[in-house]
Structure 1
Amino acid sequence: MDRNTIFGGNPFGVILRLALISIVVGVVMKALGIDLKNFFQRINELLRNLYDLGFGAIEWVIEYMLLGALVVVPIWLIARLVGAVRSKAE
């Protein structure tokens, strides 16, 4: 393996691109109020919010599923009973 294969191109060019992208991302993060001091605190808050959001979404789905089941299950049960009575009559 040569250096171009390992780095994905000219090593100097790759390092230069990574440095420029790192500067741009650093500026954006600083504009969002994220710095080296609170980076891990922000990551922790992000993970906690995603965790809470996930369970909030599950609660939302269950609530609507139960509400719909109040109508769907009785109709399904009546349809099954009518179908069973018709098949016995034939």
Structure 2
Amino acid sequence: MAEGLNRLLGDTPGRTIIKLVVISVVVGFVMSMMGFSPWDLVRFIQRGLRDLWNSGFAALGRVGDYLIVGAMIVVPVFIILRILNWRKT
């Protein structure tokens, strides 16, 4: 089971937590320097949900279009990266 968890996380749980903490501090510092706060993100999500409700869910059609266009790039790149990584192991 530990091997499966390590494979899922990409490393041991302890090292993964340390990496996430370091990256979180760096991202938090950069966001703070740019003037962003976590509350800005909360307000953005609230505003987006309110606009979605007010628009009668017409925006969902656009999200589906964005999903398909993005998946045309993301999925092949993901598959290629997984194949290249699989060869190394």
Instruction: Tell me if both proteins adopt one fold, taking TM over 0.5 as the criterion.
Output: no
TM-score (norm 1): 0.42
Provide the TM-score with structure 2 as the length reference.
0.42
